[in-house]
Amino acid sequence: MGGARSFSYMPGPRPLPLLGNSWRFALNRKPWRTRALDVTLWSLRALAGAGGAAKVAKLFGHPDLVFPFCAEETARVYRREDAMPHRAVAPCLRHYKQELRKDFFGDEPGLIGVHGEVWWRFRSRVTKHVVAPEAARASVPELDAVTTEFVHRMEGLIDEKRELPKDFQTELYKWALECVGAWALGTRLGCLNEDDAAAKEIIRCIHGFFHSVPELELSAPLWRLYPTPAYNTYVEALDAFRSLCLNRLTDKGVCAKIAQTSGEKVAAILALDLLLVGVDTTAAAAASTFYLLAKNGRVQNRLHKELDKNLPQDRVLTSKDLDRLPYLRACIKEALRIKPVILGNGRCLQSDTVISGYQVPKGSHIVFPHYIMSNEERYFPSPASYVPERWLKDHVDQQAGGRGACPYSQGKEAEENEVGAGAHARAVWLRQRETGIHPFASLPFGFGRRMCIGKRFAETELQLLLARTFHRYIVSWQHDDLTYSVTPTYIPNEPLQFTLQPRR
């Protein structure tokens, strides 16, 4: 580590004696708010300077946090990790698995909230059934059936102004949960059926779980001292999910194959983990992609053309149908760049390391702030612009430059706006082509052995929902811009009242 500066010199907010830096979040003042960590990250980015790093030291119950705001530094740390990379553990989930319900989990704590040998052993049992591309491709017909039902349900939810209801985010949770049940458990959970009492109980627990997570995992851990209301809600929900995964396991779905080779307990634990990370994240990604498409008529117009040309009518979709939709995939990647579901991924250092020229001691928690890097000009020219073309090798679309009428409004002004938007998109594409896309500047699913294990399934779910919805509707947004909070997923605060107009 010759030449590296001492860790004490790394910029960051100064901790107070005894109180450390925890008092900042306890006061809940900008920029130190757990629900506004995007603002916190931008503040730390300013402290770090060009290509540097910042730290937040002395947080109660947490190791020192280091934030390297550099894609090259992110790549170096990721690539040097060993076969069993350590992530920061969610304390309350670890408590549930390894203490409160240890009699059930035992030596099989699953994938979420654990690391080390037990994590590696569990992952080795399940990886080939979940990560293999063939698994997600084979699930397309079942997921398409769920999605088609959901899109029909959306029509019934629309009011007289053709707006979706204020609780549409909850509807997206139902869709995502139903999808997890279809591909993981091989069964329908009934979440899209208003008359299903069991499904209503599942939805209630989902709500309780996601509302309790920020308080338990991001705020002061009062649950360690006494069972807070959020803690009780959290445990009740996890118990319900565990029973669900045990009772709904069938001879179909991804987990059925794992049950055959490793037993029903391992399969149920995997299903639980997939449910915990695959509902709010996928629903949040769907919400942001809907929003960005609804706000960008030029992009939606081009997507409509691709869907009209390649999406078959009146039959269940297959993976080959999705293969013919590269612009749709680019729309999703661009949405996850601007509004990633998780603002950053983390690793717990297993040895002393030099990061951005500073000596960082073993045990520190490195947070890779992908949200900041994917919204910086140096990596993505015009970062606030929603330009899916930046992910394509060729700009191609002849009407992206403005030829052709915009379907969202009429008149000369609309055509001029379309021409301007197309010209801007091409300029961004050309600049991005010159810059290139750094492979570690936008990592919405993480990287390496601890990459999101359900990545391929999540991408498939999103492609199906967007293809089915935008093939049928013109989606617009008639309200003020959405604001976002961390809950711990990055999700809109306001109701998702999209306007849907039939295309045919």
Q: Is 243 helix (H, G, I), strand (E, B) or coil?
A: helix
DSSP for residue 238: H
In the chain, count of helices (H) and strands (E)?
A: 20, 10
Pairing type for strands 358-360 and 484-486 reads unpaired
> What is d(CA 357, CA 369) in angstroms, rounded to the nearest whole number?
18
User: Which residues, in sequence order, are CB contacts of 204 under 8 Å at separation 6+?
Assistant: none
Report the chain's C-alpha Rg in angstroms. 23
> What is d(CA 164, CA 497) in angstroms, rounded to the nearest whole number?
5
User: Which residues, in sequence order, are CB contacts of 124 under 8 Å at separation 6+?
Assistant: none
> What is d(CA 136, CA 130) in angstroms, rounded to the nearest whole number?
8
| C-beta separation of 24 from 377 below 8 A | no
**Residue among 306, 327, 497, 301 nearest 417 (CA):** 301
Residue 452 annotated as binding?
yes
User: What is the per-residue DSSP string for 246-269?
Assistant: HHS--SSSHHHHHHHHH-HHHHHH
**Residue among 341, 90, 86 nearest 214 (CA):** 90
In this structure, what token pair is assigned to residue 291? 């929003």
Residue with token string 């920029």: 31
* Residue 424 exposed, middle or buried by CB count within 10 Å (0-12, 13-18, 19+): middle
Annotated binding site for heme: 452
Annotated binding site: 452
